Amino acid sequence: MKPLKNWDNKTWLSSKKYINQFHKFLKKKVILKKNTRVLDIGCGRAYIISFLQKKYKFETKAVGIDILRNKNTRKNILFKKSDAIKYLKKGNKFDIIIIKQTIHFFSKTKIISLLNLAKKNLNTKGTLLIFSLKTKNNKIPCFKKMKKQLSYSLKKDEILFKIIKKNLKRIKEVNFNFNVRISKKKYVSMIKNRYMSCLLNLSKKELNKGIDEINFNFKNQLNFTDTLKCLSFRK
């Protein structure tokens, strides 16, 4: 699969409103204070941990890892361009490990390795948080080909969720909901930038046809709920 570059590039996932709401959600799941050590796996431009670093002034800078380093990655965190499994093998300890909308990039074998290493790298009473798109009744606006690709990806996620639950065992499950209000023009721009992994392998012709479908089928203002399933494990 081609690298995903624009999932948090001028999308609702990089908006102040989204990050503030995500922060409120996190505060209900974990304790955040100056000596908290945070790792974000698949951090993208690191908007979330950058916000946390600025707010809580962690004594040890929050760490973000990703296989890509974007030009506008936030500077107040410690960014590592690295494969997640390779990085975790170094054995650095954390109080919070976040894996957000990343599991679909892992095979069944690698997700088990990732989970085992993540558990090992948690401090006592540390928390592992895994976020991924809700697999049932997802509300993301799609054109026909995009919907087909997304459905395939979500079916894979369902299999991975079963593996995760079996591996972690003592987990809690809850949804994080964000109400998206976005213009169709802006959303079409996001599609052009292939903001979701299900768009990466579509040809330019397929993408343009899909954009025509979006323009025809949706109103000028899009309103929907972006729902993430959150699995939390405490060591």
The DSSP annotation for 186-202 comes to HHHHHHHTT-SGGGTT-
d(CA 89, CA 107): 18
Residue 124 lies in a domain: yes
Residue 189 lies in a domain: no
Residue 30 lies in a domain: yes
Residue 215 lies in a domain: no
| pLDDT at 59 (0 to 100) | 97
| pLDDT at 1 (0 to 100) | 58
Neighbours of 176 (CB within 10 A): 19
For residue 69, give its domain range.
12-182+225-234
| pLDDT at 137 (0 to 100) | 85
Mean pLDDT of 29-50: 96
Of the candidates 22, 5, 1, which has an alpha carbon nearest to the alpha carbon of residue 227? Answer: 22
Mean pLDDT of 13-37: 96
- Band the pLDDT of 3: cuts 50, 70, 90: confident
70 neighbors 41 (Cβ within 8 angstroms): no
Name the residue with tokens 């405490």: 234
Residue 19 lies in a domain: yes
d(CA 167, CA 4): 27
Residue 7 lies in a domain: no
What tens digit of pLDDT does each residue of 160-185 get? 999 999 999 889 999 999 999 999 99
Query: Would you say residue 2 has pLDDT above 80?
Result: no
Full-model pTM: 0.94
Non-local (6+) Cβ contacts of 110 within 8 A are 85
What tens digit of pLDDT does each residue of 132-151 get? 999 888 899 999 999 999 99
Query: Would you say residue 95 has pLDDT above 80?
Result: yes
Residue 146 lies in a domain: yes
Q: What is the pLDDT of the chain when averaged over all its residues?
A: 95
What tens digit of pLDDT does each residue of 180-220 get? 999 999 999 999 999 999 999 999 999 999 999 999 999 99
- Select the more confidently predicted residue: 226 or 1: 226
| pLDDT at 86 (0 to 100) | 96
Structural domain count, the chain: 1
| pLDDT at 118 (0 to 100) | 97
